[in-house]
Structure 1
Amino acid sequence: MAAPRHGAFHSLTVAAVDRLTDDSVALTLSVPAELREEYRHAPGQHLAMRRQGAERGEVRRTYSICSPAPAAGGHGPAELRVGVRLVEGGEFSTYAHKEVTPGDVLDVMVPAGRFVLDPAAAPEGGHYAAIVGGSGITPLLSIVSTLLAARPDARFCLVRSDRTAASTMFLEEVADLKDRYPERFQLVTVLSREEQEAGLPSGRLDEERLTGLLPALLPVGSVAGWFLCGPYGLVQGAERALRGLGVDRDRIHEEIFHVDNAPAPAPAAASVSSSHSRVTARLDGRSGTWPVQDGESLLDAVLRNRADAPYACKGGVCGTCRAFVVRGEVRMDRNYALEEHETEAGFVLACQSHPESEEVEIDFDR
């Protein structure tokens, strides 16, 4: 079977809408038999969904898959489940909470994302850990459940932070994992705005607190991979704590859900050549060359000519528009999705990239 096209959308029927908390729901999507291979996913990947908004035209949002990944060599998934937290003023999340009901049909992109853990690649007796905040639990639910089921020798430590017990997403699902794998799954819960009867005191998981907490929980240096997911401040503080504890950068994997408190990109120096640049883009085996307008990103230049170019957030967060720079020079404004080794290898986020040379060639197929 041919590989799924980048950015391909299909219509999937909503099988169930489950209320998780007052401000979050889980959507279960039915995948017809003829599309199941296209929706085969790695644990930790996400789905982009789109709809026509009332005011801003097409709206796209990404939501992590929380259901376990299908086993290698088996059939693709018959269902996919995602968690959606209500965002104030969020057009799609409000729609999901107030309007979506079983039987509705949603436009859903094929799975994407590289915040993943491949159980087959895990070392023997591999010990993994995650630090998550709020809705950052969603991809880890898939990662943990898939890994522990596929690798009886693996262990996982999950440190999760939520505001209150009532606001905690997938509380029962995580508790079920703890019951199923009591010797191999370690769960540590911290509430920032509510005291617990047992466990850690309330408060934020910042760099200082994590620096003291993590060595008391597990052998930090022997953890095969750390997965950080949630708001920008939590992820950045956790990364600094881990680096301060001697963890190599290549063992730290990050996915940021909210960047409201992230520093703004520094203004770039004007580029004489950028206003006369052309971009050549390869996508699904076909290439084209088009002019880039003043101030336009490479993604927007491609989208004017190829509506099927892959993207979701356009904010440098989801990584759906990842592309390889074949030739030319580009400038990225923001990057909260690509790992350091990816940028060093020549990958960029097309939504955040602007030409710094007259000719730029990018490849979405790499």
Structure 2
Amino acid sequence: MFHPLRVHAIERLTDDSAAVTLAVPPGLRETFRHKPGQHLNVRYTVDGEEIRRSYSICSPATGEQAGPTLRVGIRLVDGGVFSTYALKELVVGDVVEAMPPMGGFVLMPRPGRFAAIVGGSGITPVLSMASTLLEREPDASFCLIRSDRTAGSTMFLDEVADLKDRHPDRFQLVTALSREEQQAGLPSGRLDRDRLGRLLPALLPVAEVDGWYLCGPFGLVQAAKGALRGLGVDRSRIHQEIFHVDDGPETVTGPRPEAPAHSSLTATLHGRSGTWPVPEGESLLETILRSRSDAPYACKGGVCGTCRAFLVSGEVRMDRNFALEPEETDAGYVLACQSHPATPEVELDFDR
């Protein structure tokens, strides 16, 4: 369910990014209580067209309920309708509709050693993770390895510097710029798999890190994951969230069951169930949306995880999955936007 939130402040971070602060009414503060790393799905009507997008929350997560505001980071995307609108036309006082915070890319405060490898706007959820962890857990440390094009394109410079000032013994910052030399720090260049494989053991005891959090462009996340696996890090300690995946080939591997000639879908959503035929070539999300406009979605590209649903019965074929952890797919969860029926009858439950 979407709720109207008024724009409280807009702060330009770089030439192509901004932090947008949304006011949370007192009656919705429990609803909008977030975990560090979660995102908001927002919608806005531009020229008569409904636009939905996901934006990560950079605010620290409070213990009991949400504060009076939530802050999200928005970077301009080439051809991005909402990001263009948000950076060029959105003003304080406007109302944006948002769903309650969601997402499984989360670091709850606990003792231990944690690290993140981020690129570009991938800093946004990790900023919430690091600030929450360091403020609420005195026996935790955090290493942030970030990659940006230039210093001028780097989001949340002041916030990250403030973390370093407030927690000098528990927060480690390493910055790599791909298109600009630095006076101090790493030489310029991309953080590819080979470079990360050499860099990480020199920075921290890789085997002692309790959780690795990877966020940003697909190429960087894949490189970081490959480097960590090459260094012997168990898959269960690696968590990822990918931003802006271009259209490309299918990514889900394994046996591909044949599609049935005719199939039907039963779905439970907000306590109500319905059954509909699934037209050939249509995703399960598209089938539901023809009858239920309240079906949850945002990117429709297998990235945000908003359309996550539990597969009650039947089998499906997923084309792409950049949102669900292996533990989630093993437990029976699928992305409705990427799922197609592989049996004559399929049942999904969005309420689990």
**TM range, normalised to the smaller chain?**
over 0.9
Partner of 2:206: 220
Q: Contact 1:335 / 1:352 at 8 angstroms: preserved in 2?
A: yes
1:211, 1:158 → 2: CA distance?
16
Partner of 1:236: 222
Going from structure 1 to structure 2, the CA distance change for 1:178 and 1:54 (only over 3 Å counts) comes to same
Partner of 1:86: 76
Query: What displacement does 1:300 show?
Result: 1.1
Q: Contact 1:233 / 1:262 at 8 angstroms: preserved in 2?
A: no
1:116, 1:30 → 2: CA distance?
23
1:204 aligns with 2:190: yes
Letter in 2 for 1:90: G
1:65 aligns with 2:57: yes
Unaligned runs of 5+ in 1: 1-7
1:291, 1:264 → 2: CA distance?
24
Name which of 38, 43, 47 aligns with 1:45.
Answer: 38
Query: What displacement does 1:75 show?
Result: 3.0
1:272, 1:165 → 2: CA distance?
50
1:26 aligns with 2:12: no
The 5 Å alignment of 1:119-268 reads 119=109, 122=110, 124=111, 126-260=112-246, 263-264=249-250
Query: What displacement does 1:272 show?
Result: 5.0
1:341 aligns with 2:331: no
The alignment of Structure 1 onto Structure 2 pairs a total of residues equal to 351
Query: What displacement does 1:198 show?
Result: 0.5
1:341, 1:259 → 2: CA distance?
22
Q: Contact 1:279 / 1:359 at 8 angstroms: preserved in 2?
A: yes
Query: What displacement does 1:262 show?
Result: 5.4
Q: Contact 1:157 / 1:187 at 8 angstroms: preserved in 2?
A: yes
Going from structure 1 to structure 2, the CA distance change for 1:321 and 1:213 (only over 3 Å counts) comes to same
Deviation track 1:92-146 (CA, whole Å, cap 9, x = no partner) reads 0000011011111111111110000111xx2x3x000000000000000000000
1:192, 1:305 → 2: CA distance?
47
Going from structure 1 to structure 2, the CA distance change for 1:96 and 1:227 (only over 3 Å counts) comes to same
Query: What displacement does 1:269 show?
Result: 6.9
Q: Contact 1:52 / 1:58 at 8 angstroms: preserved in 2?
A: yes
Query: What displacement does 1:25 show?
Result: 0.5
1:260, 1:291 → 2: CA distance?
30
2:199, 2:256 → 1: CA distance?
43
Q: Contact 1:232 / 1:261 at 8 angstroms: preserved in 2?
A: no
Query: What displacement does 1:270 show?
Result: 8.6
Partner of 2:96: 106
Q: Contact 1:292 / 1:301 at 8 angstroms: preserved in 2?
A: yes
2:228, 2:248 → 1: CA distance?
20
Partner of 1:96: 86
Q: Contact 1:233 / 1:261 at 8 angstroms: preserved in 2?
A: no
Q: Contact 2:257 / 2:342 at 8 angstroms: preserved in 1?
A: no
Partner of 1:17: 10
Worse overlay, 228-237 or 257-266? 257-266
Query: Equivalent pairs: percent with the same residue?
Result: 68
Query: What displacement does 1:306 show?
Result: 1.4
